[in-house]
Amino acid sequence: MLPFIRKISKTVLRILGVFLLISVTTPVWAAGPPEPSIFSNPLALTFIILMILLLIIIGILGYILIGAADLKLKKEKRSTPVAASAMVLFVLLLSSSSLFAQGGTAAEPAAQTAASNIGGMAPSTFYVMAAVVFLELLIIITLLLNIRFLLKKEKERIAEPVTEAEIAKAAEEKRNHLSWWDKFNSLRPVSQEADLDLGHDYDGIRELNNRLPPWWLYGFYLTIIFAGVYLWRFHISHTGPSSKEEYETAVAKAELKEKEYLKMKGENIDENTVVFLSAKADLDAGKAIFEKGACISCHGTDASGIVFGQPGVGPNLTDDYWLNGGSIKNIFTTIKYGVAGKGMQSWSSTYSAKEIAQIASYIKSLHGTKPVKVKDPQGELYKDEETKPATDSLKIMNDSIKAKDNKVAMN
């Protein structure tokens, strides 16, 4: 390998030396006063570099061609790469005056010279360089075809009939061969399957006693270690939250966000925080819902409990008697949750908390209006000063139902 590299290096140095000689002697061969070097032209420099690289490739392919041929072909073709290189260099030497001298004389007008240039180069220079590159590519293609032809012939020449014994030996080696992956997984070759057979055969599928792959086995060990760490952290030492605690924390955060959202919208109202809304806009909104909703079907248009001249299902909402309490909190709770078994449904899914507060405030504002015709009093006498804040809406409803049931039982 080293003699081969040494030969290529000598060839490359010779080629570079010739180009250096051409570049040095160019001012002598070029007519007229010294012109700017062609190496300042990017296109010309690209052509020169490409020609040098192609010459190197020609030299390498020539040596490969010689190595692939037999002794007789070596003697006949030994001068092929050298002749090709010499031919290209000879063309370069002949065209040196046009390659390295800027076309046009000093007396030529600058405009005419610029008009006839190709990429800043004289046309003759451009065409000669292009022809040299084309010639080099043609030589490379020829060398590649010859190398392919010689290698094919050499393979046919050295090919010999393979005996059955050699075929059997190759098959046996293949059966005993293990890839790096098989070795990593500690697998056995195919030739040793008989030793691993457990005797379980189903539809041609045999069970072998192969050990588990290390990647699977070690992965399983890691899951056991992870389970132990998880059990200690979350169920023994309690240094981390359990699934239940994470759920409760998430629910608490969601409720907090909901309260903040409702507060931003003015909907953060419940039976414990509701207050009487005395603003005209709120009372008008509550009146509109009361008259357009289902309220009048049970309590009448004026909340007197009279519907179409007859006592309705719902009680009179203008007197001092209330079935479930007459405070703003009690009214809000009754509308929101309803009264089971009394015909009063829950309206929490129909109206928002603010709308329920507006309805309750409107009903509260009807106290003492004394309609012309009212339903008989129902429930217990209620006075505002005796009202206590509601703390638990469900407890309030249950207590009111129990009190009502006790009253009926006593009667």
For 38-96, write each residue's pLDDT tens digit: 667 788 888 888 888 888 888 888 777 776 665 445 444 444 444 455 455 445 444 44
Q: Which amino acid is at 411?
A: N
Contact 263, 354 (CB under 8 A): no
Could you tell me if residue 201 is inside a domain? no
Q: Which amino acid is at 237?
A: S
Residue 400, domain extent:
280-410
The verdict on 88 and 236 lying in the same domain is no
- Best CA proximity match to 369, nearest among 282, 301, 312: 301
The verdict on 260 and 293 lying in the same domain is no
The verdict on 136 and 256 lying in the same domain is no
Q: What is the pLDDT of residue 348?
A: 85
The verdict on 246 and 297 lying in the same domain is no
Q: What is the pLDDT of residue 283?
A: 92
Over the chain, what is the mean pLDDT?
74
Contact 310, 371 (CB under 8 A): no
- Dist. CA 22–CA 101, nearest whole Å: 11
Could you tell me if residue 186 is inside a domain? no
The verdict on 264 and 352 lying in the same domain is no
The verdict on 292 and 352 lying in the same domain is yes
When pLDDT is averaged across residues 293-303 and rounded to a whole number, the result is 86
Contact 394, 317 (CB under 8 A): no
Could you tell me if residue 182 is inside a domain? no
- Dist. CA 199–CA 194, nearest whole Å: 10
- Dist. CA 48–CA 136, nearest whole Å: 12
The verdict on 259 and 286 lying in the same domain is no
Lowest mean pLDDT among 32-46, 286-300, 371-385: 32-46
The verdict on 323 and 224 lying in the same domain is no
The verdict on 133 and 18 lying in the same domain is yes
Q: What is the pLDDT of residue 103?
A: 43
Lowest mean pLDDT among 128-137, 175-184, 320-329, 338-347: 175-184
